[in-house]
């Protein structure tokens, strides 16, 4: 799990590191201190003596000195913390070099400056003109406006697509929703939320969900019917029939 | 069995409220949970009378009284919640008819019992609406009844008019209503308005005996005998305008068609075969029950799984059967009125099963659990918003179709949240017998029964008139009492009342 990080740190033999092996663990820690972290002076590094019987004690001290928060006996977490710590030091050393490749810098330079032919792309959605324009359209379509004009625009677009498309204008009766109005505020039971507005909203959500489900079911039915067109051949044979006693 | 006097027995029964009684642990040996039953004042009398009769010295043989059977079910391994008797409860084979019980699928001790489903697997009711009114139908009532009778073969030993071979049957057993759809007997919308979408996916025709298939093959598309019927009905009362509106029922006087039928000889044979297997399994697994008729096996045993697979095949058979009769009824109406079934708006309102065991998710003490729910003479009644009910009924709750008896009313109810809590989303299924078949034959005369129906303006076509007294209204509990009890106890809501104008029967 440390392969890529250790290779970035140019650790020799990064492919073969096994963190659960005590000896290798000590070796990596010592290498990191000597080459990257450099907390101690080079002549005073008890952590470098990896064969010492006091190594564990020195390591605990070392952890305190670099304020490593990981509890002991979590070898993998400890190693991960030290590898990351070393990476951090490495990064800060050459911050300006690495930052040249950061996403923010890349974006600003690599995207060509396209001049849109479509006037809609040049709209300033935050402008007052846009806002009042959308409100006007919404009013004509009898849609109650949302504080965010983009949401209102989306609602307008939905309505126009479903009710003002060519087919709908040709055969309006197929698209005008028929049926009796459903008193959802009284007839939907089981939403005692204590807040009238919240309750109403929950019921509206429920109705929208049911509408979605209805559309799905209708599509299922349509696919069944198209299969039936190929397979259906209902037969009866009255000669087979027999009334019992 | 414990022998106690009637008054001692009563000590174990406690009236919780006007509509519900508790059966305390100890009423029968080894009860794991309590039992309960829903009754109003009139049904309560019938229930206790049955118990009192069974306590008289020398009363042995025949079925145990319903209360005792409910308690015996409460003693089965793995049962959760309560063993519940619905208002139409009456004694049956092992389980009372009108008894529901749920078993925890994740408890290795839990059992499945064919007696908890009944012999007529997936017996159920389907309701079709039309855009006709009573005044359109009354002048041609006799012709229409005759036309239905000509299309739908009835009676013991009847044979269907839909040609089928053994391969068709195997496919139908596996596919259920999807088979009827593929062959073009029903409409896509019919599947949508059917419990389980008309197909149990775990059905395996290979687990079904040759004998069952042989019995079933010629019987597809036939109504059968007993309490099964097809009726032309008229909307008599609307209690819940909005729910009725969602079902396409606008006004009083609208004409509907109700079909009450099941899996015929096929289901009977599947149940019989399973009982033989279960008796052996009980010995092998050391399962003990209070009553030999409660033969059962662990859900996850080979016998248990085989039964569930073959039961599912029988359930599919019943859906194909009701679908075939839907097709035939539409034909009969189309011929009579010279209009297509489409133009007559003959849509399926709903199709319920009242003899079935299904795996369902329920809350038990606030925790979700997977249960095997046995409903015998009990209808599923899921509340508004439940994911397993059709989108059209999401706001109203599942329609529950309650078939009355010959010449009496039928009802459409809807499922409630309270029913989900009290009875695992279950309610009654019909009137429920008050007199045994033999007793009805002794006490009633068939010509009187037929004359009475005629006086009520009901056209009737029967294959065997000499058996109609078995099904006479006098042999049954009052369906209105049953439905009102369910409504008052809150386990389902009254929505529509229907009255018959023509009946065809076995």
B189 contacts A243? CB cut-off 8 A: no
**φ, ψ (nearest 5 deg) of residue B82:** -135, 160
User: Looking at B1-78, which runs of residues are DSSP E strands?
Assistant: 13-17, 20-23, 35-38
Closest to B2 in 3D by CA, of B64, B84, B76, B73: B64
B153 contacts A243? CB cut-off 8 A: yes
Dist. CA B293–CA B115, nearest whole Å: 7
* Numbered residues of chain B with Cβ closer than 8 Å to any chain A Cβ: 153-163, 181-185, 188-189, 191-192, 218, 222, 225, 242, 245, 327-328, 331, 383-385, 390-392, 394-395, 417, 463-464, 506
> Which residues are registered as beta bridge partners of B126?
B259, B351
B163 contacts A188? CB cut-off 8 A: no
Beta pairing, strands B492-505 & B459-462: parallel
B417 contacts A210? CB cut-off 8 A: no
Closest to B322 in 3D by CA, of B354, B345, B358: B354
**Residue A213: which of B161, B327, B391 has the nearest Cβ?**
B391
In the three-class reduction of DSSP (H, G, I as helix; E, B as strand; rest coil), residue B123 is classed as coil
pLDDT tens digits along B377-434: 999 999 999 999 999 999 999 999 999 888 889 999 999 999 999 999 999 999 888 8
Which of A 184-223 lie inside 8 A of B, CB atoms?
Answer: 184, 187-190, 206, 210, 213-214, 217, 220-222
Closest to B281 in 3D by CA, of B265, B294, B268: B294
**Distances, alpha carbon A90 to alpha carbons A14, A26, A32, B478, in Å:** 17, 21, 11, 88
B153 contacts A221? CB cut-off 8 A: no
B230 assigned ligand-binding residue: yes
User: Which residues fall within 8 angstroms of residue B317, CB to CB, at 6 or more apart?
Assistant: B121, B122, B172, B173, B216, B220, B263, B264, B266, B267
User: Which residues fall within 8 angstroms of residue B132, CB to CB, at 6 or more apart?
Assistant: B254, B255, B337, B344
Q: Which residues of A touch B245 (CB under 8 A)?
A: 180
User: Which residues fall within 8 angstroms of residue B431, CB to CB, at 6 or more apart?
Assistant: B88, B404, B405, B408, B473, B476, B477, B478, B479, B482
B355 assigned ligand-binding residue: yes
Q: Which residues of B touch A224 (CB under 8 A)?
A: 181, 188, 191
In this predicted structure, what is the pLDDT of residue A44? 82
A242 contacts B157? CB cut-off 8 A: yes
Provide the pLDDT confidence category of residue A9 given band limits of 50, 70 and 90.
Answer: confident
With b for 16 or more beta-carbon neighbours within 10 A and e for fewer, the B100-117 pattern comes to bbbbbbebeebbbbbbbb
Q: Which residues of B touch A180 (CB under 8 A)?
A: 245
In this predicted structure, what is the pLDDT of residue A113? 62
Residue of A191, A212, A214, A240 to mutate, testing the B interface (most B Cβ within 10 Å of its Cβ): A240
Q: Report the pLDDT averaged over residues A14-29.
A: 84
Instruction: Give me the count of residues in chain B.
Output: 506
> Which residues are registered as beta bridge partners of B412?
B401, B496
In this predicted structure, what is the pLDDT of residue A112? 60
A240 contacts B160? CB cut-off 8 A: yes
Beta pairing, strands B410-415 & B297-298: unpaired
**Distances, alpha carbon B126 to alpha carbons A170, A196, B432, in Å:** 40, 40, 18
- Yes or no: say if B444 and B421 are a contact pair by the CB < 8 Å rule: no
In this predicted structure, what is the pLDDT of residue A35? 87
Q: Which residues of A touch B446 (CB under 8 A)?
A: none
**Residue B157: which of A217, A232, A244 has the nearest Cβ?**
A244
pLDDT tens digits along B265-300: 999 999 999 999 999 999 999 999 999 999 999 999
B386 assigned ligand-binding residue: no
Dist. CA A110–CA A119, nearest whole Å: 24
Q: Which residues of B touch A178 (CB under 8 A)?
A: none
Q: Is the dihedral of CA B455, B458, B462, B468 positive or negative?
A: negative
B406 assigned ligand-binding residue: yes
Note whether ipTM > 0.90 here. Answer: no
DSSP B391-454: GGGTTT--EEEEB--TTS-EEEEEE-HHHHHHHSSEE--B--BSS-HHHHHHH--HHHHHHHHH
pLDDT at A73 over 80: no
B134 assigned ligand-binding residue: no
Q: Which residues of B touch A204 (CB under 8 A)?
A: none
**Residue B384: which of A190, A217, A245 has the nearest Cβ?**
A190
Q: Which residues of A touch B347 (CB under 8 A)?
A: none
Q: Classify residue B116 by its DSSP letter.
A: G
Dist. CA A228–CA B186, nearest whole Å: 10
User: How many CB atoms within 10 Å of residue A126?
Assistant: 9
Give the pair of three-digit tokens for residue A117.
């032919």
End-to-end C-alpha distance for chain A, whole angstroms:
80
Catalytic residues of B: 429
**Residue B463: which of A213, A241, A244 has the nearest Cβ?**
A244
Provide the pLDDT confidence category of residue A115 given band limits of 50, 70 and 90.
Answer: low
For B436: left if phi > 0, alpha if psi spans -120 to 50, otherwise beta; the answer is beta
Residue of B385, B388, B390, B504 to mutate, testing the A interface (most A Cβ within 10 Å of its Cβ): B385
Q: What is the pLDDT along chain B (506 residues), one digit of tens a residue?
A: 557 889 999 999 999 999 999 999 999 999 999 999 999 999 999 999 989 988 887 766 678 899 999 999 999 999 999 999 999 999 999 999 999 999 999 999 999 999 999 999 999 999 999 999 999 999 999 999 999 998 898 888 888 888 989 999 999 999 999 999 999 999 999 999 999 999 999 999 999 999 999 999 999 889 988 889 999 999 999 999 999 999 999 999 999 999 999 999 999 999 999 999 999 999 999 999 999 999 999 999 999 999 999 999 999 999 999 999 999 999 999 999 999 999 999 999 999 999 999 999 999 999 999 999 999 999 999 999 999 999 999 999 999 999 988 888 999 999 999 999 999 999 999 988 888 788 888 888 888 888 888 899 999 998 887 778 888 888 888 999 999 999 999 999 999 999 999 999 87
Smallest CA–CA separation between B357 and chain A, in Å? 26
In this predicted structure, what is the pLDDT of residue B2? 58
Q: Which residues of A touch B154 (CB under 8 A)?
A: 243-244
**Residue A189: which of B185, B222, B384 has the nearest Cβ?**
B384
The domains of chain A are located at 3-108, 123-176, 183-224
In this predicted structure, what is the pLDDT of residue B53? 87
- Give residue A187's Cα distance to chain centre: 37
Using a 10 angstrom Cβ sphere, with 0-12 exposed, 13-18 middle and 19 or more buried, the burial of residue A211 is exposed
pLDDT tens digits along A94-110: 888 888 877 777 766 65
Smallest CA–CA separation between B162 and chain A, in Å? 5
Beta pairing, strands B410-415 & B399-402: antiparallel
Smallest CA–CA separation between B434 and chain A, in Å? 25
User: How many CB atoms within 10 Å of residue A105?
Assistant: 11
In this predicted structure, what is the pLDDT of residue B459? 92
In this predicted structure, what is the pLDDT of residue A120? 72
pTM over 0.90: no
The helix (H) or strand (E) run that includes residue B282 is: helix B264-285
Dist. CA A173–CA B300, nearest whole Å: 56
B463 contacts A217? CB cut-off 8 A: no
B17 assigned ligand-binding residue: no
Dist. CA A30–CA A36, nearest whole Å: 10
Give the pair of three-digit tokens for residue A88.
């951090």
């Amino acid at each position: 799990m440390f392969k890529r990080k250790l290779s970035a740190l140019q650790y020799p033999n990064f492919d073969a590191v096994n963190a659960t092996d005590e000896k290798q663990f000590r070796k990596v820690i010592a290498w990191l201190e000597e080459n990257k972290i450099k907390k101690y002076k080079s002549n005073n590094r008890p952590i470098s003596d990896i064969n010492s019987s006091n190594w564990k004690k020195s390591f605990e001290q070392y952890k305190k000195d670099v304020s490593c928060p990981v509890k002991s006996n979590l070898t993998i977490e400890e190693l991960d913390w030290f590898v990351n710590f070393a990476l951090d030091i490495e990064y800060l050393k050459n911050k300006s070099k690495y930052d040249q490749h950061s996403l923010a810098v890349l974006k600003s330079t690599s995207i060509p400056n396209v001049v849109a032919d479509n006037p809609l792309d040049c709209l300033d959605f935050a402008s007052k003109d846009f806002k009042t324009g959308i409100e006007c359209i919404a009013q004509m379509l009898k849609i109650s406006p949302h504080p965010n004009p983009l949401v209102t625009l989306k609602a307008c677009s939905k309505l126009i697509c479903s009710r003002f498309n060519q087919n709908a204008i040709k055969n309006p009766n197929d698209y005008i929703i028929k049926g009796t109005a459903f008193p959802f505020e009284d007839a939907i039971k089981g939403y005692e939320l204590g807040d009238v507005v919240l309750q109403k909203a929950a019921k509206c959500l429920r109705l929208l969900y049911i509408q979605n489900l209805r559309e799905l079911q209708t599509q299922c039915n349509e696919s069944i019917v198209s299969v039936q067109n190929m397979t259906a051949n209902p037969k009866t044979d009255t000669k087979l029939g027999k009334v019992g006693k | 069995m414990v022998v106690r006097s009637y008054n001692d027995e009563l000590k174990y029964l406690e009236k919780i409220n006007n509509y519900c009684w508790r059966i305390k642990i100890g009423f029968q040996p080894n009860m794991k949970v309590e039992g309960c039953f829903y009754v109003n004042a009139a049904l309560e009398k019938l229930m206790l009378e049955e118990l009192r009769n069974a306590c008289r010295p020398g009363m042995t043989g025949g079925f145990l009284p319903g209360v005792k059977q409910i308690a015996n079910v409460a003693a089965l391994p793995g049962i959760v919640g309560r063993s519940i008797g619905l208002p139409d409860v009456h004694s049956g084979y092992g389980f009372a008819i009108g008894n529901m019980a749920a078993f925890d699928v994740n408890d290795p001790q839990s059992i499945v019992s064919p007696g908890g489903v009944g012999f007529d697997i997936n017996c159920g009711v389907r309701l079709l609406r039309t855009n006709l009114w009573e005044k359109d139908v009354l002048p041609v009532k006799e012709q229409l009844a005759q036309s239905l009778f000509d299309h739908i073969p009835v009676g013991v030993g009847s044979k269907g008019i839909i040609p089928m071979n053994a391969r068709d049957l195997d496919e139908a057993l596996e596919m259920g209503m999807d088979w009827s759809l593929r062959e073009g007997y029903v409409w896509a919308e019919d599947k949508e308005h059917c419990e389980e979408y008309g197909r149990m996916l775990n059905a395996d025709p290979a687990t079904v005996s040759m004998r069952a298939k042989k019995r079933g093959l010629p019987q597809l598309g036939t109504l059968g005998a007993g309490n099964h019927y097809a009726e032309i009905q008229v909307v008599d009362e609307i209690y819940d305008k909005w729910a009725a509106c969602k079902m396409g029922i606008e006004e009083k006087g609208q004409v509907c068609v109700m079909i009450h039928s099941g899996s015929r000889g096929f289901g009977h044979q599947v149940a019989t075969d399973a009982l033989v297997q279960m008796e052996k399994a009980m010995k092998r697994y050391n399962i003990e029950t209070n009553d030999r008729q409660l033969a059962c096996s662990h859900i996850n045993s080979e016998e248990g799984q085989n039964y569930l697979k073959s039961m599912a095949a029988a359930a599919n058979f019943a859906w194909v059967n009701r679908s075939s009769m839907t097709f035939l009824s539409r034909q009969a109406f189309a011929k009579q009125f010279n209009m297509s079934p489409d133009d007559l708006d003959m849509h399926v309102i709903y199709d319920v099963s009242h003899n079935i065991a299904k795996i369902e998710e329920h809350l038990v003490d606030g925790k979700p659990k997977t249960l095997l729910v046995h409903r015998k003479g009990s209808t599923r009644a899921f509340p508004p918003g439940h994911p397993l009910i059709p989108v059209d009924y999401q706001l109203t709750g599942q329609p529950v179709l309650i078939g009355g008896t010959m010449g009496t009313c039928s009802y459409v109810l809807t499922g409630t949240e309270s029913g989900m809590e009290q009875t695992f989303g279950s309610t009654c299924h019909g009137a429920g017998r008050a007199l045994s078949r033999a007793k009805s034959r002794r006490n009633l005369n068939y010509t009187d029964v037929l004359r009475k129906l005629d006086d009520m303006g009901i056209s009737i076509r029967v294959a065997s008139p000499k058996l109609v007294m078995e099904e006479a209204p006098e042999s049954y509990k009052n369906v209105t009492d049953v439905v009102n009890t369910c409504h008052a106890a809150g386990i389902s809501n009254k929505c529509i009342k229907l009255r018959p104008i023509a009946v065809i029967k076995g």
